[in-house]
Structure 1
Amino acid sequence: MDAGKSMNGNSERLGDAEIGERLRIAREAAKLTQAEAAAAIGAARTTIVAIEQGKRRIQIDELQKLATSYRTSANAILRKEAVHLDMVPRFRKLSESSDHAVEQASRLLNDLVRAEVELENALGVARTRNYPPERPILPGDIRIQAEQDAQELRDWVGLGPGPVTDIVSILDLQLGIRVYVRRLDGKVAGLFAYDDAAGACILLNANHPHERLTQSGVHELAHFISTRRQPEVLTDDEPFVSREERYANIFQRCFLTPSRAVRQRFAEITAGQSHLTRRHIIFLAHAFGVSREAMVRRLEELKLAKDGTWDWFQSHGGITDEQAREVLGELPARPSSSVLARGLVPPRLALLAREAWKKQFYSEGQLARLLQLDRHEVREVLDGADIEESEADELFKLSH
């Protein structure tokens, strides 16, 4: 029996070329050579080559053996709505990707994108993309271009001079970028990849503080704007030595703390004052939703503070959380992106999972495996689906 006959009807059967491509992607993700795959089915390497090129139809017993070797299943390979992405090998080609933490994060991003696209295919929906034009990095002063591009994007998403309070919603809902927030190794701040079928995809570290996570999200957004086709990994203490990394770092600062808005707020807060104080820094950092260090560094860059101001504060006791509470009082916690996902899934993906579960396309167990969650976490994602359905029946009838 061949793999094609295991599907329900010829119209539903994947072509040999598509099955071969899926097997190639799964093999590369598992870091196996064609020779090692051939050994798993007791065949010559040329047989694997022919299968992957779609020139030789795979038999069902061969498919089952290869799927086991690739740490997947025959069903996952053959399922019509399933999506097979090859982002992991692309990340592995980066110099940093020999690191185990980066390898794990790239595999997780690949799996989460695959899961979301599979749910979209099963439900017959598509993600709306609102991508701004790509802005390749040009010769000349990179600071000028980064600031112009950052301001253009703020205008594109309608931010005005206000702070960036929820980078996940901007990426996900306004731009249509696939963004996920999961707990990663501390050294990995974020990953970005672009796939022709899936589009732009970003993974951020839920373990990082809100301000750090926001900075990482904007940094990856800068790569989406400037070098869309190049995968990127942002790690702790990134040196920003390349022109692309310098652009992303400047873009990040300009997007989060636009110069005109900073200058105006600085003038308002320091009016009539002769010295820059901790109190000024605390107010400014809170107003723009960035860390106190990021705010001082930006003031230094804009020549609103002398070079070395942050180092001076650090050598004289720093600017502490206790001092911030004395100035600002006990404020409600900012809406943290780690809370938005809580190690689970972003809102749009949660809605897809609920709808697929209500239609009985997927069981709890299948969703747990698809979304890389345990049963308890899946139930949290599905919680309220029945209430939502009854409310929709009573209040929000949609006309199609």
Structure 2
Amino acid sequence: MFSLCHEYAHLIFHRDRDDVAGPQQRYKSRGRAISPEEKVANHFAACFLVPESALRKQFAMQGGGWAYEETVMRLKGTFRVSATCIIDRLSKCKLISPQNASYLWAMANRKGWLRSEQQPIVEPLNYQGRLRILCRKAWESGTASELFIAELLDLDRKGLSVLLAGWYEEQEAGYFE
């Protein structure tokens, strides 16, 4: 996903440049001499995928303060980006001290995270939980039919019946009003 957002940033920010020759254009993408175009594209992708307000909230839920490897791994899983992206965002959003950032970058370098991703995310995205919540809200407001909800959630008649029975029961109990 990061790569897709990164390339999208090139389309947004660099398409009008006279020296951009399309996909074959080569930018220095690693090391100290990284090109300004790559910095812009990386920054855009990182901000898009790891918004500061969401990172602040998630970091606070992890306990805030000093970030450890475990903190980075949890946030990495939450935002589905690389560990180095999380370290970069924690630092740029000033959620960690410069000393903590140096500690994390040294660890990332020592463990090879700059070359090979630690604990890569292999499971596919799952929007089913969010989709179910949105379906419930639409059902409660009367803007989605039961048939439409069944199609969206890929439920047969029995599955839909069980789902709706639970929703009705919760409504009658006054849990969600």
TM-score calculated relative to the size of structure 2:
0.51
- Cα root mean square deviation, aligned: 3.3
Q: Which residue of 1 aligns with 2:73?
A: 282
Give SS of 1:305's match. coil
1:57-115 Cα offsets, whole Å, 9 max, x none, are: xxxxxxxxxxxxxxxxxxxxxxxxxxxxxxxxxxxxxxxxxxxxxxxxxxxxxxxxxxx
Q: Measured at CA, do residues 270 and 249 of structure 1 come closer, stay the same or move farther in structure 2, by a change above 3 Å?
A: same
**Distance in structure 1 (CA, Å) of the matches to 2:73 and 2:9:** 27
Give SS of 2:66's match. coil
Q: Which structure shows the higher strand fraction?
A: 1
Considering only CA atoms, is the larger Rg found in Structure 1 or Structure 2?
1
The CA deviation at 1:265 is 0.9
**Distance in structure 2 (CA, Å) of the matches to 1:324 and 1:297:** 18
Residue pair 1:218, 1:252 contacting (<8 A) in 2 also: yes
Unaligned ranges ≥5, structure 2:
126-177
TM-score calculated relative to the size of structure 1:
0.24
Counterpart among 39, 44, 48 of residue 255 in structure 1 = 48
Q: Measured at CA, do residues 318 and 306 of structure 1 come closer, stay the same or move farther in structure 2, by a change above 3 Å?
A: farther
Q: Which residue of 1 aligns with 2:123?
A: 334
**Distance in structure 2 (CA, Å) of the matches to 1:235 and 1:335:** 31
1:116-153 Cα offsets, whole Å, 9 max, x none, are: xxxxxxxxxxxxxxxxxxxxxxxxxxxxxxxxxxxxxx
**Distance in structure 1 (CA, Å) of the matches to 2:109 and 2:51:** 28
Q: Which residue of 1 aligns with 2:138?
A: none
Q: Which residue of 1 aligns with 2:62?
A: 269
Counterpart among 217, 220, 226 of residue 7 in structure 2 = 220
Residue pair 2:2, 2:45 contacting (<8 A) in 1 also: yes
Q: Which residue of 2 aligns with 1:296?
A: 87
**Distance in structure 1 (CA, Å) of the matches to 2:7 and 2:71:** 30
Q: Which residue of 2 aligns with 1:190?
A: none
In the alignment of these two chains, the number of paired residues is 112
The CA deviation at 1:249 is 2.4
Q: Measured at CA, do residues 294 and 285 of structure 1 come closer, stay the same or move farther in structure 2, by a change above 3 Å?
A: same
The CA deviation at 1:240 is 3.3
The CA deviation at 1:247 is 2.1
The CA deviation at 1:290 is 0.9
Q: State the one-letter code of the partner of 1:313.
A: M
Residue pair 1:297, 1:310 contacting (<8 A) in 2 also: no
Unaligned ranges ≥5, structure 1:
1-213, 326-331, 337-400
**Distance in structure 2 (CA, Å) of the matches to 1:233 and 1:318:** 25
The CA deviation at 1:324 is 5.2
Q: Which structure shows the higher helix fraction?
A: 2
Q: Percent identity?
A: 28
The CA deviation at 1:223 is 1.5
Q: State the one-letter code of the partner of 1:224.
A: L
1:336-385 Cα offsets, whole Å, 9 max, x none, are: 9xxxxxxxxxxxxxxxxxxxxxxxxxxxxxxxxxxxxxxxxxxxxxxxxx
